[in-house]
């Protein structure tokens, strides 16, 4: 069976197919969902190994729930983000927060004309550091909204709060980020006008 993410079916159709015994449906799901789950978990946990454990556990729960998946209730990705978020919260409570700040490898790019990429890498790092200063729930909401690209109702489901609460968290989080990044404007083009 070719290792193929170009399956046209929706996440939900793939999951239902897997739950009905089509094992190969897991391939496309894995390729689609794992990068998102891992990107989020590694940003929250600041540790690649921990993030891998969380994502593997979350995906295992997805495989197990597949036969009982009820259509039309939640998006598969939203469900997965929620499991990942809860597992991350559990880990942070146990181990304390932000253990290995430099565990996330920084992208290295020495090709000629890579100034833009280097600026981007520095911006990403600066944002990462600034996010790390936020209260956990504000950080979660901002990451889910502006990096993972979830809608406010989806974030509300992931975080088990109301939509208004999501908007409040993201607004407060962004204000705090601007304050934290204010000192970077000269080098990173942050226009705090």
5 lies in the site for other proteins, by CB under 8 A? no
Interacting residue with other proteins among 74, 124, 163, 165 (CB under 8 A): 124
Cα dihedral across residues 48, 100, 154, 63: positive or negative: positive
Distances (CA, A) of 142 to 4, 55, 123, 155: 32, 20, 16, 10
Q: Which residues of 107-140 are buried (b: 16+ CB within 10 A; e: fewer)?
A: eeeeeeeeeeeeeeeebeebbeebbbebeebbbb
Interacting residue with other proteins among 9, 64, 93, 97 (CB under 8 A): 64
Per-residue binder mask for other proteins (CB under 8 A), 70-109, x = binder: ----------------------------------xx-x--
Interacting residue with other proteins among 21, 72, 112, 113 (CB under 8 A): 21
In the window 151-190, what residues touch other proteins (CB under 8 A)?
A: 171, 174, 177-178, 181, 188-190
Could you give the CA distance from residue 57 to residue 31 in angstroms, rounded to a whole number? 16
The CA-based angle 175-93-96, given to 5 degrees, is: 80
Q: Which residues of this chain interact with other proteins, rule CB under 8 A?
A: 18-21, 23, 26-27, 30-31, 34-35, 38-39, 42-43, 48, 51-52, 55-56, 59-60, 63-64, 66-67, 104-105, 107, 119-121, 123-128, 146-147, 149, 171, 174, 177-178, 181, 188-193
């Amino acid at each position: 069976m070719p290792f193929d993410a170009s399956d046209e079916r929706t996440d939900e159709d793939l999951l239902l197919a897997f739950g009905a015994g089509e094992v190969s449906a897991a391939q496309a799901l894995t390729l689609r969902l794992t990068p998102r789950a891992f990107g989020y978990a590694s940003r929250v946990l600041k540790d690649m190994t921990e993030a891998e454990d969380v994502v593997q556990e979350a995906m295992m729960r997805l495989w197990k729930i597949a036969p009982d998946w009820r259509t039309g209730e939640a998006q598969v990705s939203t469900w997965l983000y929620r499991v990942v978020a809860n597992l991350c919260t559990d880990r942070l409570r146990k181990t304390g927060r932000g253990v290995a700040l430099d565990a996330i490898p920084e992208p290295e790019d020495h090709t000629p004309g890579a100034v833009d990429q280097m600026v981007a890498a520095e911006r990403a790092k600066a944002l990462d550091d600034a996010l790390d200063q936020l209260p956990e729930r504000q950080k979660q909401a901002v990451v889910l909204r502006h990096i993972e690209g979830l809608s406010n109702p989806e974030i509300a489901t992931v975080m088990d709060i109301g939509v208004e609460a999501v908007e409040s968290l993201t607004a407060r989080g962004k204000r705090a980020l601007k304050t934290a990044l204010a000192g970077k404007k000269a080098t990173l083009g942050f226009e705090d006008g």
